[in-house]
Amino acid sequence: MNPGTPVFKATNGEANCVAISGNYAYVADWTAGLAIIDISDPTNLGTPVYVNINGTAAKVVISGNYAYVAGSGGLNIIDISDPTNPGTPVNVVLNDNALCIALSGDYAYLGQFFYKMAIINVSDPTDPGLPKYVDLPEGGIKTRSIATIGNYVFVQGEEIFRIDVSDPTNITKVDSIKVDARIVNDVKVSEDSKICVITKEGASNRKNGFVILDISNPNDVTVLSEYTDGLTGGVHNVFIDNNHVY
């Protein structure tokens, strides 16, 4: 492979996360809120348009005409039907910082500090419901990443918890998947919902790397393989594209 020279666009904050939709990149830009950048010409990126939110911006996901931003101020929902003129954020305040977010059906699932997950009905993004909180087993002080598949949410701490959310009013932990890691940093599910990749950060005799899970049957999750060769630092984020992991 012979990748080209990176094209760089500075933002006012710290880029923590990016989501792509159409010709725009949506950046969770920490203290600068949400930054929206026209990428229709990848060789000449547009000037960022900023949306101030309540608190800092840690993660962002896009669904339809809305950007859902998780951060220290809870959940901020922003109308991006016109990315050049985004709407005023609708804010849902939580009882602690939100570090990650995943959407499934009518609900947003947000991971928080201290073994917690917040669930919010976002069937009407202009009038989201009140948060419902779920206490998770003590698997790490920070819930860093969340992924959804069908009726299940995979929540990361120091291990992966599989949680049944088929009834959002009665959340139940099904089981957990332990890996040899100090911290699990990220969890992503493939588009066909058959593969899950989790990244890990080692310490002492634990190795940095990533683990590939078979989740084609969510009731019988198995480890397919693990990659740790030559990785000298913790692996944080991961993306799945067709037959490749980045």
Q: Answer yes or no: is pLDDT of 187 > 80.
A: yes
In this prediction, residue 27 carries a pLDDT of 97
Spatial neighbors of 39 by CB under 8 A, at least 6 apart, are 20, 23, 24, 25, 45, 46
Q: Answer yes or no: is pLDDT of 157 > 70.
A: no
Q: Answer yes or no: is pLDDT of 141 > 60.
A: no
Tokens linked to 108: 């947003």
Distance CA 128, CA 198 (A): 30
Answer for the pair 180, 186: CB distance below 8 angstroms, yes or no. no
Mean of all residue pLDDT scores within the chain: 88
Q: Which one has a higher pLDDT value, 185 or 77?
A: 77
In this prediction, residue 123 carries a pLDDT of 97
Tens of pLDDT, residue by residue over 206-234, are 678 888 999 898 888 888 998 888 777 77
β-pairing, 222-227 vs 34-38, is: unpaired
Kindly tell me the burial class for residue 25, based on how many C-beta atoms sit within 10 Å of its own C-beta (0-12, 13-18, 19 or more). buried
In this prediction, residue 142 carries a pLDDT of 64
Distance CA 98, CA 139 (A): 17
Answer for the pair 155, 165: CB distance below 8 angstroms, yes or no. no
Confidence of residue 136 (pLDDT cuts 50, 70, 90): confident
Tokens linked to 209: 């790397």
DSSP annotation of 47 reads: P
Q: Which one has a higher pLDDT value, 242 or 72?
A: 72
Mean pLDDT of 136-159: 73
Answer for the pair 111, 98: CB distance below 8 angstroms, yes or no. yes
Confidence of residue 137 (pLDDT cuts 50, 70, 90): low
Nearest alpha-carbon partner for 187 in 212, 220, 152 = 212
Distance CA 178, CA 235 (A): 17
Confidence of residue 185 (pLDDT cuts 50, 70, 90): confident
Answer for the pair 116, 163: CB distance below 8 angstroms, yes or no. no
Nearest alpha-carbon partner for 105 in 151, 60, 174, 70 = 151
Kindly tell me the burial class for residue 2, based on how many C-beta atoms sit within 10 Å of its own C-beta (0-12, 13-18, 19 or more). exposed
Percentage of the chain modeled with pLDDT above 70 = 94
Tens of pLDDT, residue by residue over 4-60, are 999 999 999 999 999 999 999 999 999 999 999 999 999 999 999 999 999 999 999
Distance CA 240, CA 189 (A): 8
pTM, full prediction: 0.88
